[in-house]
A = this chain, B = another copy of it.
Amino acid sequence: MTDVPPLPADETLADEALAALARALAHPARLQILRTLATRGTCVCGQIVDVLPLAQSTVSQHLKALREAGLICGETDGPRTCYCIDPTALARAEAAFAGLFGTLTAPASCCA
């Protein structure tokens, strides 16, 4: 029915990574955590718990998700853990999304 090539393996890998990044951003609480970190620069877990209407364990899970996505990093500081945005990773994510949207300019559209 069509003659589209079966898609290169590299792009599939990139899509996998980009999808993982999008999934990390796909929850309001995680966006709020990122905004809080951006505002305060550096946050101890308890400060984030105070901002969000969520239990401490839930916030910890979201922090873990953001850390596994590479968007934030946290280092132990005594009994606390200090979190912050990873500027390098953030720039990479920004570039990845910009690249995605850059390639999504359709040559034609059936929309209004």
Contact between chains at A51 and B110 (CB < 8 Å): no
Selected A-B contacts with CB under 8 Å, 23 pairs: A2-B47, A4-B36, A4-B40, A4-B51, A11-B35, A12-B28, A18-B31, A19-B28, A23-B23, A34-B104, A38-B104, A38-B106, A42-B109, A42-B110, A73-B110, A75-B110, A85-B106, A86-B109, A90-B101, A90-B105, A94-B97, A97-B101, A98-B98
Quickly give the copy total for this chain. 2
Residue contact A19 to B15, C-beta cutoff 8 Å: no
B19 lies within 8 A of A25 (CB): yes
Contact of A7 among B51, B90, B104 (CB under 8 A): B51
CA distance A30 to B16 in the complex (A): 11
